[in-house]
Structure 1
Amino acid sequence: MSSSTMENGFFPEEVILQILARLPIKPLFRFKCVCKLWYKLPSSKYFIQLYNKISSQNPMVIVEVVKSFYARCSYICVDRLRGVSEFSLDFLNDRVKLRASCNGLLCCASVPNKGVYYVCNPMTREYKLLPRTRERPMTRFHPDDEATLVGLGFNLSTQKFNVVLAGFYRPFGRRPLDSFICLVFDSESNSWRRSISSRTEEFTHMNKNQAVFANGCIHWLTYSCLYILALDLENEVWKKIALPKEVASGSGNRVHLLELDGCVSVIQITEAWMSIWVLKDYNGEEWYEADRASLRCIKGLVPGVFPISQTSEFVFLATQRQILVYHRRSRVWKEMYSVKSPFTYPLWFSAHAFCSTIISCHQGANYP
């Protein structure tokens, strides 16, 4: 079937492209055998940009279902449009823990091999093993993790990504206890850069999975929930962003850091309400309240509910055993996934925002 046949007998080529750009990646790659045009699509720069743009408007949630510390994790993808599907990271040939997600790429840490990290695209099953750092794994203060913070920033336009490992390193008397070590991997140079600074801020364990990449910076929420710490990846400079006064001054509130349409956002949860705040002016630190939703319908789940991903239309949330979606226009709550086994870890502990994109984790990949 040629492109002229499509235009004369069926649909214009652009319509065909729009349809194919809405398919999951796996069937899209299977359809390469249909004709020459479809065979070239996954490597076409125009189609990749189209596919990624459409996909970014439909974010999903990846959940690492952890049954025990010694068993391999299983993974599910919760899609608001297509439901729940399973996927695997077995192509890494290693037992890994998912640490960060950004624009279709995942950063995974090897469980048996401390200090080993991968960046991969689980949809195309392509991966990159990052070079080992000279720094010892930061495990003395946080024995369950290799670093207090793991962040991943991926720029879709430049195809460049950065991995950030940061934490309070506490060796035997060589440095002060508040020495804060930050390691940044640059995919262009294929190397790590290291910096040490003296910081007193603590990062909340609750939000460690929610590192937000926006405006060329990776953002984390501090334990005090008074402000956000942002790392400028270009200049490798840390800066503070104050939270809205209504959020910072609230007592008994839970605050979660997310991304919304390319902007930094925080969701404030009280016993009765969920408020969505968006950083409208990044430089001027101007916030506005985008939405406010009643939690009356899920009252019994409120103490253990964690927002994971959001758009202007809906919010994905995780509880101990469920993935919920809240439709902002209709004000309707829906259960998307539920764990039947009572032995799994809480889902909010291992849930990450995700979007299915055709992207390469190898910097410098050229598309025809």
Structure 2
Amino acid sequence: MNHPDLKYGVFPDEIIHQILARLPMKCLFRAKSVCKLWYGLVSDKYFIRMYNELSVRNPMMLIEVTESSQFRSSLICVDSLRGVSEFSLDFVKDRVKVRASCNGLLCCSSIPDKGIYYVCNPMTKEYKVLPRSRERPVTRFHPDGEATLVGLACDLLTQKYSVVLAGYHRTFGHRPDRKFMCLVFDSECNKWRKFVSMQDDQFTHMNKNQVVYINGSLHWMTESCCWLLVLDLNHDIWRKMSLPDEISSGTGNRVYLLESDGSLSVIKISEAWMSIWVLKDYGSEEWFMADRVSLRCIRDMVPGIFPISQTRQYIFLATHKQVLVYQRNSRVWKEMYSVKNSSTLPLWFSAHAYRSTIFGFH
């Protein structure tokens, strides 16, 4: 049955919403300038929610590639649907490095001016410089004057975000002690809050780079891979979460923390196999093995491979020079991106799970 509006050559708003919500961000911004009707449709809360819900289903991978000759970084976005594109963070008007990614937002720190942090959306080129905290990072965090852990929590439904800086307290001239100081920036209040706890856990560089925001909490893998360290942002409480027995009791394995369609997931790479666990129930901390993938056909890449993001359909992995995608249904490997010139860092060193979303800073 034909829709009555179509008799006059006009699509109903719902159909226009559905079409526009599937456009890439650049095309969407062009569509806003077509007419006042489209501008209004794209700007309303219903459309933003629809766009973000559809975008979450399309995994991406963001890589910061540093060119040694120019001392500058470019961002490479690898999209399973639309391929590879390049963009920059020049709109921030500062030399920055990406510290965390969550739901389309990036948390970046200033390279020349330590202690300055930004939250930005590289797709819409909007950003906010965070107010300085009262703490002096050079004398309070270990090592190198920066937080040991940097986390970003973005809630697309409420359009609010939090930035977390956490590290071991260090008085100037002394070794760090067990006091774990945590600073949390709340976008709703536009200010920082601080609390201190005691922590013995250590973190490798990549374990602190992979942080997952789920269920109102940020999650990090500890160096020992015996448990997850969890920060409940609603109550400012640190706690530990158990891992599958096969991981916590194993030795000589490489273990990584990822998100999988809104759930926590842990990936273990051991010899020629990649095992994937997903948290079935958050409250009871019950895990199940979702998949076991053979790595024999990419055997030469296994020592340097690093999983970055995943869904039920895809797994994105980075090596020193390449980005691979594994299609879980067809069990086919595909190269999505390869570095053609020399970069100063391996790709997995600064790769983040990503998605294109609409977020209003104002």
TM over 0.5: yes
How far apart are the structure 1 equivalents of 2:154 and 2:89? 20
Distance 1:157 1:184, change over 3 A: same
- The residue identity in structure 2 corresponding to 1:292 is R
How far apart are the structure 2 equivalents of 1:297 and 1:32? 46
- Are the equivalent residues in 2 in contact too, given 1:163–1:186 (CA < 8 A)? yes
Displacement of 1:10 after TM fit?
6.7
Identify the residue that residue 201 of structure 2 maps to in structure 1.
201
Identify the residue that residue 121 of structure 1 maps to in structure 2.
121
Displacement of 1:142 after TM fit?
2.0
- The residue identity in structure 2 corresponding to 1:281 is D
Identify the residue that residue 148 of structure 2 maps to in structure 1.
148
Identify the residue that residue 365 of structure 1 maps to in structure 2.
none
Identify the residue that residue 260 of structure 1 maps to in structure 2.
260
- The residue identity in structure 2 corresponding to 1:52 is N
Deviations 1:115-138 (A, max 9, x none): 000001111111111000111225
Instruction: Using the TM superposition, name which of 342-351 and 54-63 deviates more.
Output: 342-351
Displacement of 1:6 after TM fit?
5.7
Deviations 1:253-304 (A, max 9, x none): 1110011111111111111111111111111110001111101111111111
Identify the residue that residue 327 of structure 1 maps to in structure 2.
327
Identify the residue that residue 221 of structure 1 maps to in structure 2.
221
How far apart are the structure 2 equivalents of 1:231 and 1:255? 20
Displacement of 1:141 after TM fit?
3.5
The yes-or-no answer on 1:240 pairing with 2:240 is yes
SS in structure 2 of the partner of residue 208 of structure 1? helix
Identity percentage of aligned residues = 64
SS in structure 2 of the partner of residue 345 of structure 1? coil
SS in structure 1 of the partner of residue 48 of structure 2? helix
Deviations 1:42-88 (A, max 9, x none): 31111111111100000201111012397121111110110000112
The yes-or-no answer on 1:49 pairing with 2:52 is no
Identify the residue that residue 249 of structure 1 maps to in structure 2.
249
Gaps of 5+ in 2: none
TM-score, with structure 2 as normaliser: 0.94
Aligned pair count reads 359
SS in structure 1 of the partner of residue 360 of structure 2? coil
Identify the residue that residue 341 of structure 1 maps to in structure 2.
341
The yes-or-no answer on 1:20 pairing with 2:4 is no
- Are the equivalent residues in 1 in contact too, given 2:84–2:337 (CA < 8 A)? yes
TM-score, with structure 1 as normaliser: 0.93
- Are the equivalent residues in 2 in contact too, given 1:67–1:345 (CA < 8 A)? no
How far apart are the structure 2 equivalents of 1:161 and 1:104? 11
Deviations 1:72-114 (A, max 9, x none): 2111111011000011211110000000011111100000111
Deviations 1:191-233 (A, max 9, x none): 1111122211102222222110000000000000000000000
How far apart are the structure 2 equivalents of 1:199 and 1:59? 34
- The residue identity in structure 2 corresponding to 1:75 is L
SS in structure 2 of the partner of residue 340 of structure 1? coil
Distance 1:165 1:6, change over 3 A: farther
How far apart are the structure 2 equivalents of 1:101 and 1:224? 24
- C-alpha root-mean-square deviation of aligned residues, in Å? 2.0
Displacement of 1:5 after TM fit?
6.6
Identify the residue that residue 163 of structure 2 maps to in structure 1.
163
- Are the equivalent residues in 2 in contact too, given 1:100–1:152 (CA < 8 A)? yes
- The residue identity in structure 1 corresponding to 2:87 is F
Identify the residue that residue 72 of structure 2 maps to in structure 1.
72
Q: Spell out the pairing of 1:276-315 with structure 2 (5 A cutoff).
A: 276-315=276-315
Instruction: Using the TM superposition, name which of 270-279 and 338-347 deviates more.
Output: 338-347
How far apart are the structure 2 equivalents of 1:199 and 1:76? 36
How far apart are the structure 1 equivalents of 2:117 and 2:262? 26
Identify the residue that residue 212 of structure 2 maps to in structure 1.
212
The yes-or-no answer on 1:230 pairing with 2:235 is no
- The residue identity in structure 1 corresponding to 2:215 is N
Provide runs of 4+ in structure 1 moved above 3 Å: 3-8, 10-13, 138-141, 172-176
The yes-or-no answer on 1:29 pairing with 2:21 is no
How far apart are the structure 1 equivalents of 2:142 and 2:93? 29
Instruction: Using the TM superposition, name which of 153-162 and 30-39 deviates more.
Output: 30-39
Q: Spell out the pairing of 1:64-103 with structure 2 (5 A cutoff).
A: 64-68=64-68, 71-103=71-103
Report 1 or 2 for greater relative contact order, CA contacts < 8 Å, sequence distance ≥ 6: 1
How far apart are the structure 1 equivalents of 2:169 and 2:355? 33
SS in structure 2 of the partner of residue 66 of structure 1? strand
